[in-house]
Structure 1
């Protein structure tokens, strides 16, 4: 199995208002997110790639135009937990690149959430 991955970075605010008021994530706050998309294939294309990394720039464009420096509660139709965001980015990526096998989202240097069906 061949595997590739690429990271994307963006900054955004969010608030998990369904949590108790004394929970730190219930307050308005922001993160410097890292999104890592992983693709896999048992074969390579004619160029010797799972997928050309340049094709993945569509995810960067989506992130930059729709999510970067935004309030995620205003632009996503789901609670903006890292877990939900990993699923969101997975679904977005899988619709464009069938080789997508997983997406990871980091909110801090020490935390990651992953969606892998």
Structure 2
């Protein structure tokens, strides 16, 4: 099994529901997010060039991040979802796995020391 990863960044605000009123994440706040897409393929699934997928193919994902997530309020962007890092990772996987069948995981970082990962 081969795995490749590409990292993307965006800045956005959110507020998390279902927390105590005095919880810091219940208040409106923002993050400089990092998103990592992991794509996987078996040796017999590699492209003729020997790639899991050409990194250049992910440019549409970057355009989508810039248009849909960057400098947005995520509570307004992600439908019917509390925009925790965990839920965001699953949502991104769901939106993009049809386009890139090789996606095997999506990781989201809100801070340099925290990561959430969705791996179906």
**Which category describes the TM-score, using the shorter chain as reference length?**
over 0.9
Match of 2:54 in 1: 52
CA drift of 1:17 comes to: 3.1
Match of 2:85 in 1: 82
Match of 1:31 in 2: 31
Give CA-to-partner distance per residue, 1:37-72, whole Å, 9 cap, x none: 000101311111100001111111111001100111
How many residue pairs are counted as aligned between the two chains? 117
Match of 1:92 in 2: 95
Aligned residues: CA RMSD: 0.8
Match of 2:72 in 1: 70
Match of 1:3 in 2: 3
Give CA-to-partner distance per residue, 1:60-102, whole Å, 9 cap, x none: 1111001100111111111000000000111122111111100
Match of 1:114 in 2: 117
Mark the runs of 5 or more structure 2 residues left unpaired by the alignment.
none
Quote the Cα distance in structure 2 between the aligned partners of 1:93 and 1:76: 14
* TM-score, with length taken from structure 2: 0.94
* TM-score, with length taken from structure 1: 0.96
Mark the runs of 5 or more structure 1 residues left unpaired by the alignment.
none
